[in-house]
Structure 1
């Protein structure tokens, strides 16, 4: 399933957070809606 609006780097960062069962910190609000099995924290 393709997620639109995320760069390759964005997807890699989210994949890393999912792999290590961590939380992704970002200023991009779109990540919150796009992240399915990843905890995302908006830092701004």
Structure 2
């Protein structure tokens, strides 16, 4: 359990670093990737 918490902590730190570096663009990209399985590729392409 502790190991998992450490991994999540590291992942959170990396995510924070990336968001600081790339700003909201990275955050929106991450959100798009998170929802990707819910949509077909065609739907995602039409958004652009």
Could you say which TM-score interval applies, normalised by the shorter chain?
Answer: 0.3 to 0.5
Q: Which has the higher helix share?
A: 2
TM-score (norm 2): 0.33
Instruction: Please give the TM-score of this superposition, normalised by the length of structure 1.
Output: 0.36
Between structure 1 and structure 2, the one with the greater Rg is 2
Instruction: Work out which structure has the larger RCO, using CA pairs closer than 8 Å and 6 or more positions apart in sequence.
Output: 1
